[in-house]
């Protein structure tokens, strides 16, 4: 049985309801999002509900993890989406200026990497920068631990890339690390799995649930790539408390916001405090403590390069978004300019 509390409901959300809404509308959490058909979990159970057209194009359109108010009926109709506590976003594929919210109201983002592929520190860094910007805390899960005899090197590589975020070894097959994973999620909290297709996200979800809820499929033998088995995001309640959201594989979380870069590289920031120049760019300046750490083998040159690349990307995006905002502003003024011209014309004639 779900209660609103086991679903992660709390004062942050209840404070958003007017007394009229509290007495006439139902509260539900989005457990699966598929456009107009949304599956909500109410205290009384799951229902498919209708999302009225005006909410579909609107911001925010409901996604997995959202708390929504719905008017009772057959079926219930969504009235509004409550303000989110956090949201995991990325740049929509191929669009520099479109934010795509993947999951709402998450406390924890579980970044999954299969050990059959190695630790992939550069990919972890990019993903963690995006997670830090979301308002949720990150954790790295190195899964398929049963496939490698010694995960020590991969663990060390991932830790060096994780900037203090917890890094766990796990296996959906042997069950290693599952208690630690469930403990990270914890009662009343919500975690979302992200990671490339085939990494083993759904296998972990099934192992945590103790039943095969999510289909899983073998990676392609040719190149170990996943087959995008999971196609929609779904929320599950864990037997020991807490919720997890499983979703489609994401090779890379394209950065939406530069806000998480500093937190994802706080070790570099700490080193930079020792540079001779306050505005040191760590690009060959004398007395550079960051370059010194690379030379001494205390900082991976790849990690520094990764930081530079992310900063460049974020700056580029900021500029593009500035351009998009200017275009939107121009469009906003166009009808007014037209009306003005008409006004002057009429006045000059009259």
- The footprint of Mg ion (CB under 5 A) covers 201-202, 229-230
Structure tokens at 24: 């006439």
Which of 140, 167, 188 is closest to 12 using CA atoms?
188
Does 121 contact ligand GTP by CB under 6 A? no
Residue 201 counted as an annotated binding residue: yes
Among residues 200, 307, 314, 317, the one that binds ligand GTP under rule CB under 6 A: 200
Enter the DSSP assignment of 139: E
Which of 22, 48, 26 is closest to 37 using CA atoms?
48
Q: Which stretch binds ligand GTP (CB under 6 A): 27-35, 180-188, 210-218, 254-262?
A: 210-218
Does 248 contact ligand GTP by CB under 6 A? yes
Does 304 contact Zn ion by CB under 5 A? no
Residue 144 counted as an annotated binding residue: yes
Enter the DSSP assignment of 211: S
Does 294 contact Zn ion by CB under 5 A? no
Enter the DSSP assignment of 163: T
Q: Which is nearer to Zn ion, 43 or 285 (CB)?
A: 285
Q: Which is nearer to ligand GTP, 238 or 304 (CB)?
A: 238
- Minimum Å gap between C-beta 200 and ligand GTP is 3
- Minimum Å gap between C-beta 164 and ligand GTP is 25
DSSP-based three-state secondary structure for 210: coil
Q: Are strands 67-71 and 45-50 parallel, antiparallel or unpaired?
A: unpaired
DSSP-based three-state secondary structure for 168: strand
Give 115's contacts (C-beta < 8 A, 6+ positions apart): 142, 143, 144, 145, 147, 148, 151, 154
C-alpha span between 84 and 236 (Å, rounded): 19
Residue 243 counted as an annotated binding residue: no
Q: Site mask, ligand GTP, residues 313-342, x = CB under 6 A?
A: ------------------------------
C-alpha span between 115 and 327 (Å, rounded): 45
Does 285 contact ligand GTP by CB under 6 A? no
- Whose tokens are 């949720």? That residue is 136
List of residues contacting Zn ion (CB under 5 A) = 275, 280, 282, 288, 290
Q: List contacts with ligand GTP (CB under 6 A).
A: 143-144, 146-147, 171-173, 195, 197-203, 216-219, 226-230, 248-249
- Which residue ranges make up the annotated binding site? 143-146, 195-203, 275, 280, 282, 288
């Amino acid at each position: 049985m779900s209660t609103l509390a086991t679903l992660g409901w709390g004062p942050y959300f209840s404070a958003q309801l007017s007394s009229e809404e509290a007495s006439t509308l139902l509260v539900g959490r989005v457990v699966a999002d598929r456009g107009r058909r949304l599956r909500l979990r109410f205290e009384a159970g799951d229902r498919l509900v209708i999302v009225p057209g005006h909410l579909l194009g609107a911001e925010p359109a409901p996604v997995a993890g959202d708390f929504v108010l719905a008017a009772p009926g057959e079926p219930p109709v969504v009235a509004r989406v409550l303000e989110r506590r956090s949201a995991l976003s990325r740049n929509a594929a191929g669009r520099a200026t479109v934010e795509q919210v993947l999951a709402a109201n998450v406390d924890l983002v579980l970044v999954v990497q299969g050990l059959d592929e190695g630790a992939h520190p550069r990919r972890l860094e990019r993903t963690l920068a995006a997670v830090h910007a979301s308002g949720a805390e990150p954790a790295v899960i190195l899964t398929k631990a049963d496939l490698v005899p010694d995960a020590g090197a991969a663990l060390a590589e991932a830790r060096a890339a994780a900037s203090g975020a917890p890094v766990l070894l796990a296996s959906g097959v042997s069950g290693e690390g599952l208690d630690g994973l469930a403990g990270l999620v914890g009662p009343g909290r919500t975690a979302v799995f992200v990671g490339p297709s085939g990494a083993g996200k759904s296998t972990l979800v099934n192992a945590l649930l103790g039943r095969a809820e999510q289909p899983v499929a073998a990676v392609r033998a040719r190149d170990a790539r996943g087959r995008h088995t999971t196609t929609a995001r779904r929320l599950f309640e864990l037997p020991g408390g807490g919720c997890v959201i499983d979703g489609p594989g994401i090779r890379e979380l394209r950065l939406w916001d530069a806000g998480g870069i500093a937190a994802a590289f706080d070790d570099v920031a700490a080193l930079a405090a020792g540079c001779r120049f306050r505005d040191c760019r760590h690009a060959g300046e004398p007395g550079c403590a960051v370059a010194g750490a690379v030379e001494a083998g205390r900082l991976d040159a790849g990690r520094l390069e990764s930081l530079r690349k992310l900063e460049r990307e974020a700056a580029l995006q900021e500029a593009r978004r500035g351009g998009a905002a200017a275009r939107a502003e121009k469009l906003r003024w166009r009808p007014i300019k037209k009306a003005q011209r008409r006004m002057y014309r009429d006045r000059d004639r009259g």
